[in-house]
Structures are given as C-alpha cells and as structure tokens.
Amino acid sequence: MADHKLARDVRTAEDRLTVEDLLRSPALQLRLLAGESGLSRSVSWAHVSELDDPTPWLLGSEVIMTTGLGVPRTAARQRAYLERLDDAGVSALALSAQLHVPPLHPAFFAVAEERGMPVLEVPLAVPFIAISQEVAAALQEDASHRLGAQLQVFGALRWLAAEDLDTATLFKRLERLSGYDVYLSTRSGRPLLPGVPVPPLDVLPAEPDAPPTIPGGFVLPVSAPGGPAGHLVAFEREGARPAGLAVVQHIATVAALQVAMARHERETLRREGAETLAELLQDLLDPPAARRRLARLGLPMSSDAVLLVVRGVPDDALRRALDDLPHLMLRRGNDHYLLGPPGMGPAVAAVPGAAAGVSRPFPPGEPLRVAQREAVWAVSHAVESGKPLVHYGEDTTGRWLPDDPATLSALVEHVLGEVLAYDEAHDSRLLKSVRVWMEHNRHVEDAAAVLHIHPNTLAYRLRRFATLTGRDLSSSAAFAEVWLAIRAARRLGRLKP
C-alpha cells in the first residue's frame, strides 16, 4: 500500500492539476505553511468542511478548505486530524487566515512534513469559492477524459460477448482504460478470480460499511448472491489519468458478473463430476471414455489418482478445503466419495471432525471396484481409531490378505459367520469385544475399560465367542486365524463402527 501511496504523491503529469499549480496561481495568493514535498499531489476537487472528521464523505484527491472550526486545539488531536485527512487521500488542507483557526502546534507541522501533506493558508480577501472555481475550470478537460473512459469501460460486457476474453485479459484492458491497477480477493484475502492479483491485506476494510476511499485509490465490495464475495481494490497507476470512482464501481460490477459466471460454471462442473463419479463407481464407463471425461472435468491425467471416502464433514466444509484442488465429489448417505490427486488427503484431514479413508494410488480412468473397497475399509478404520486420515495398507497384518472379495468373504464366513449372525440377531457386541481385546494385546482390564464394561462381562463374551466359533483363543493358531478374519471383515466393510 505504501508503494501505491508514494506513486500517488510523486506523480507529475502535465494534464493533471496539482497542489503546486494552485499555489502558483496569482489570483489565489495561497501561502505554503508545511508539507512542501507533497506539492505534486493531484487535485480532483476543492471542498469546504468544518467537520472534525470529514473523511467518510471524501473520495480522495480533494483540497479541504476550512475556516478552522473543525480543527482541534490540542497537539495530539491536531496531529490525528491531519493524519486522518492524509489517510483518506486528501491532497491538501487550506486554512483561512485570521478567522477561527486555533494556534497550530509544532506536532501539527511535524506530521505535515513527515507525510508530505501540504498545508496552505488562504488570505482573508480570497473567498473559498474562488479556489473551487479555479479547480473546476482546470478540471474541465479531465472531466471529458473521465467521461470517455467511463463509456469505454461500460463496454466491457460487449467485449465479453463479442471477443470471448478470458478474465485476466479483460481486467488488463479495464486497467488500461481506467488508469488504475486492479486487484481482487475474497473477504479472507484469497484469490477471487483467476489471473487477477490479490491486494495487500492491510487495505481490506474491517467493516462492511467502510468508506470506499483509501490512500491512492478505492476499495469496493464485489457483490454476489447471499452477500459480498470479496473486494476490488483499485490503486492509481503512476503516469496514468485515473478515471474516478464511477469507473471503479463499474469495474466492481464486471467483477461481480464474472464471479457469478464462475460460480455457475463451477456448479455445473460439480454436477457433471458427481454424475461421472457415480458412473465410475458403478463401472459404467470404459477406461478410454473415463479418461476423456476426467480430462474435460480438469483432473490431471499425467499422475495417479486416489479415491477418498469421508465421513462427518458437511458439503461446504469439504468444498472449501478442496477449493484449490481438482476433484470429483459424490455424496452417498453420510459418506462423501472424492476422486482426485493424492494431495486431497491432507487437505481433508485438516477439516475439523473429518474421518477419511484413502485408497492406494491408481491410474486415472481405471475401474474403481478395488479402490472403493480400499477406501471404505480405510474410512471404517479411521472412524474406529479416531484418526482423521487412514491410508489403505497401513494395517501391517491386512496387507497379507488377498484382494479377491470372494476369498475374503469365505474367510469371514468360515471363521466369524456364527458370531456375526449372533450379534445381528441379539444386537450384541461379541465381535467388537474380541477385536478390542486383541488390539489391546489380550489385556482384559484395558479392553474392558475401553468398552466401558466390567472385566467379568468381557471374560463372558470371550467364552461365548469361543463357543460360537469353535476356536480356543488361547491357541496361537486360532488367535491368528481369528485376527486375519477380523481384518478381512474390516476390509469388506462388515464391522460396525
């Protein structure tokens, strides 16, 4: 922001009225009291104000004229008064001599010199209207330039339709016509439209009703359905002829239209992406057709993809987390299925309350049958373990199991079939109790504490399990067989969370 303010202060242009031009006018008889380094500041208007703080009603580059009624009396308040005017982009302060101006303290003159804020004295014989007329006459040619710039900028919608301009090219053209460097950002300071840079965060307003004027330019909200989508910041460009607030307001309107179009396009792609992912999960697309569809939806074809299953996260939170990553998303019940680059995993894991499972990487366009089983297994393990993210294959025992679902199902039915049926019929927790007991290295007290049951209750469940399965869990062979069967059931998604 300081660089743009400096550019405003040191800009010299033959076709722009400056404070020095007013100072040299023999008819006005102005005298410089302080702030000589700011004499090259441009002047857009001259306005009388007796307010202690006129800045909410200013647009920038004004000469503020006062009889002194609004000038504070203490040194600290005088300094703050001049700083407020300078921060609002005022070109100079003109004080009427011999009227109501209080004694000016050294601190007042010091801040004028520090900031290069010209302070002028107006003779009592010169009415303020004379200064206003001088400024108006000098700016007549500039007003014609601004009107021409406005008419050209108002043609931006025609450019969009006739020339099919991309966003970056459109805003570069608007910059050339308006005389401003244009920046766009969301309210949190992130990029709002592709190809348009983000402004310095310190110029973004803290309040929604903040005045549009900032040192060296303007900041305006970019409207969108449901509230502002972000902000447009326009800084006067060195050596250019800024066309004024009306043009910047129209550029903000163009930005709002671009945001609405981008949102509509993004929503269309989301719907198409969800439909494509549903077809991939149902194995309805052959690999070549799937790759063509994925490439059109923006997924990279040169690197592997992964499938994620996410639980416990609202749609909006997932979309915000993945805003910068190409992906397809499909909601099925309480689960979200995501297809995209491996970088999705850490982004999703950072969302509060997320439980996500990630498949092994695979070439884009390949059938998702195996990846779906892997991601479902991994998310079930994430829910059970309380981890935000689990990759398939992290289970050192489970990686020795075959990938064939029929083989896994046969193992589960052979070893755990009776227990699964018993738990289903009696709404009991025999299998969960045995799994927790195994995961806690057969320590009954520790496992019972996790299960919130008495150790004797757990001992009864272990005996009941052994009876139903016909396997003595004190035997190493039986223990290993049951452990592998439990891992297979988890992979198949047959364990209750």
Average pLDDT (387-392) is 88
pLDDT at 160 over 90: no
Residue 9 pLDDT: 39
pLDDT at 11 over 50: no
> How many angstroms separate the CA atoms of 120 and 92, rounded?
7
pLDDT digits 0-9 by tens, 119-128: 999 988 788 8
Residues contacting 249, CB < 8 A, separation 6+: 220
Q: Where residue 318 falls among pLDDT bands split at 50, 70, 90?
A: confident
Q: Where residue 403 falls among pLDDT bands split at 50, 70, 90?
A: low
Quick one: what percent of the chain has pLDDT higher than 70? 90
pLDDT at 149 over 90: no
pLDDT at 5 over 80: no
Q: In what order do the strands lie in the sheet with 213-214?
A: 180-186, 230-236, 217-222, 213-214
Which of 8-12, 41-45, 155-159 comes out lowest in average pLDDT?
8-12
pLDDT at 419 over 70: yes
Average pLDDT (349-358) is 90
pTM: 0.48
Residue 415 pLDDT: 93
Residues in a beta bridge with 149: none
Residue 1 pLDDT: 42
Q: What is the DSSP string of 24-54?
A: H-TTT--EEEE-GGGTT-B--EEEE---S--
Q: Where residue 93 falls among pLDDT bands split at 50, 70, 90?
A: very high
User: At what angle are helices 405-426 and 430-439 packed, to 10 degrees?
Assistant: 120
Average pLDDT (461-473) is 93
Average pLDDT (184-195) is 88
pLDDT at 67 over 50: yes
Nearest to 49, CA basis, from 73, 70, 22: 70
Which of 135-149, 313-327, 440-454 comes out lowest in average pLDDT?
135-149
Residues contacting 142, CB < 8 A, separation 6+: 15, 16, 17, 241
Q: Are 425 and 457 in contact (CB under 8 A)?
A: no
* Residue predicted with more confidence, 56 or 75: 75
pLDDT at 232 over 50: yes
Which of 95-99, 450-454, 475-479 comes out lowest in average pLDDT?
95-99
pLDDT at 61 over 80: yes
pLDDT digits 0-9 by tens, 331-347: 988 899 999 999 898 98
Quick one: what percent of the chain has pLDDT higher than 90? 38
Average pLDDT (69-83) is 94
pLDDT at 440 over 50: yes
Residue 91 pLDDT: 93
Q: Where residue 144 falls among pLDDT bands split at 50, 70, 90?
A: low
* Residue predicted with more confidence, 250 or 162: 250
pLDDT digits 0-9 by tens, 284-308: 888 899 999 899 888 888 889 999 9
Q: What is the DSSP string of 145-191?
A: HHHHHHHHHTTHHHHHHHH---HHHHHHHHHHHHTEEEEEEETTS--
Which of 31-45, 246-260, 349-363, 468-482 comes out lowest in average pLDDT?
246-260
Average pLDDT (120-147) is 76
Nearest to 311, CA basis, from 336, 277, 332, 331: 336
Average pLDDT (62-81) is 93
Mean pLDDT, rounded, of the chain:
85
